[in-house]
Structure 1
Amino acid sequence: MLAFRAAVEAGDFAALGDLLADDVVFRSPVAFRPYEGRAIVAAILRGVGRVFKDFRYVRELADADGRGSALVFETVVDGVIVHGLDLIRLDEAGRISELTVMVRPLSAANALAKAMAAEFPQIQAEAAATTGETR
């Protein structure tokens, strides 16, 4: 997870696309259905980079097999303090195959949902420009 964590902490959300498996699955804290595929997930992560402020990881937990991590974070979205968790699973090639994000409290989830909804037209355009994927 070092490369993922380092990129996020550096604010280099554009670099995250290279760390994703082609068939990556992203489970959002504010969407019911998961997003699948590198183009849309990379675009979502860039959108997240635009809405998160004062982001920092405060704790990291790793699976015994070395292919999974839980990264606890704190950030601010539209003035609301967000506490969250990135659950990451790597495939055999060391790329991120699953990314699940959870946030709390409810006011934080609501602020994140609103901020990401405003970003979504740009997210869809970025994904479409990459491969035509717009889901």
Structure 2
Amino acid sequence: MSDENKAAEALSGEVYTIQDAVRDGKFMDLDKLLSPDGKRLAPPFFGYVSMGIMEAGMLEGDGETVNMSNFLDLMWHCAKLVRTLSHGFEDAVESSYIGDVEFPDGKMRTVDMEMYEDDNFTLMFPHERL
């Protein structure tokens, strides 16, 4: 194996992916949440959401059950933010959007929507970036 290939292999072993974050419990795969039968949602837009976002009013009192009305309302606000920041989707798609959205408690919070290796957006608070 060439030195170049060894370096690439060593680097790839150190990359922390969104799948690693899901496995570690830091992020939730939205396909598993919204489509328990395993079918891929179409069209994909948001693929993952951080547990920090989920713990900010998206979970019921038991801490495990998702409050779907709160969650879908937040997704709507985030999609609306992307629409605004992209000038009605007329601009080229960016790999990152950041802005303030209203959460279920009525408070405005800054969210970060990043596109990672699978070309789906991950919704998180700015301090939760991978």
Q: TM over 0.5: same fold? A: no
* Greater gyration radius: 2
TM range (shorter): 0.3 to 0.5
Higher helix proportion, which one?
1
TM-score using structure 2 length: 0.32
Greater strand fraction, Structure 1 or Structure 2: 1
